[in-house]
Structure 1
Amino acid sequence: MAAISCTLLVDDDDTTNFLNQKLLQRMAVSDQVLVAGNGQQALDLLHAHCELPTSPTCPALILLDINMPLMNGIDFLKAYAQRPTRENPTVVIIMLTTSVNPRDVEQMQGLPIKGYLTKPLTRDKITQVLQEHFGHSATAG
């Protein structure tokens, strides 16, 4: 049994999404992994998969990049925060980025994120997120 039902990866880099998806699958983190190439696609996926917040395809974890075309991670978070509460699932949003710019971190103050990790995503980082936010540890794989 996976630790959580669904994870959403939001990154415009196809290779990063592929590698992260494979890592999550090997670790049996989620029953399903959704992928969005930018913040707008992520909002569309949430709308489609979270009509019922208890849906097994409604993400419990979102790994979000900052720098993306069309709608970046900061704009996604602002739009997510403006949605009616009943439309937002109970989700852990972790900013996963290569940016170490203090300005980016400052912009995230007050936005609905639970943590900030630098890329690349690793087994140890996933385990830390699962333990800290879900009370689980990943299985070997």
Structure 2
Amino acid sequence: MSPLSCTLLVDDDETTNYLNQALLRRLAITDTILVATNGQQALDLLHIHCEQLASPTCPALILLDMKMPVMNGLQFLEAYQQRASGRPAVVIMLTTSLNPSDVTQMERLPIAGYLTKPLTKEKLQQVLQAHF
């Protein structure tokens, strides 16, 4: 499988972003990695990188944390859905919670799925096989 053109990591934890970037690079899953530390930064990046439909830096995959300052994952999803431009990305929620109420809430979201942290090679391969 050829690498994705671009992946967007959205997480307020710098260590998590660093580790996820290292994993994506090591596995050569994506050509470009964009990083945002909250939902608002992610929307700003999407506005810049997805202005043109065929842009190679418009993310095909968004790995989204649920709990962040400024704009959390739920608020991001709401704003992302209202966005009319660009091709839709596969959005995967990353969480540390397996609380049944959190799982139920995530299953109702407009996302392709959710994964528990930490991100691993096996989890990424499952996402790629299921959605690309």
1:70 corresponding residue in structure 2? 70
Tell me the secondary structure at the aligned position of residue 81 of structure 2: helix
Distance in 2, matches of 1:65 and 1:36, equals 10
1:139 — aligned with what?
none
| Runs of 5+ unmatched residues, structure 1 | 135-141
In structure 1, the partner of 2:112 is 114
Aligned length: 132
Q: TM-score, normalised by structure 1?
A: 0.87
Q: Hey, what does 2:51 align to over in structure 1?
A: 51
Structure having greater relative contact order (Cα 8 Å, sep ≥ 6): 1
Letter in 2 for 1:63: L
Report the residue type matching 1:122 in the other structure. T
Q: Is the CA contact 1:5–1:57 (under 8 Å) kept in the aligned structure 2? A: yes
Q: Distance in 2 between matches of 1:14 and 1:2?
A: 28
Displacement, 1:88?
A: 3.9
* DSSP-derived class of the 1:52 partner: coil
Q: State the AA in 1 paired with 2:39.
A: G
Tell me the residue number matched to 1:138.
none
Q: What TM-score, normalized to structure 2? A: 0.93
Q: How many percent of aligned residue pairs carry the same amino acid? A: 68
- What RMSD in Å do the two structures reach over aligned CA positions? 1.5
- What's the CA shift for 1:53? 2.3
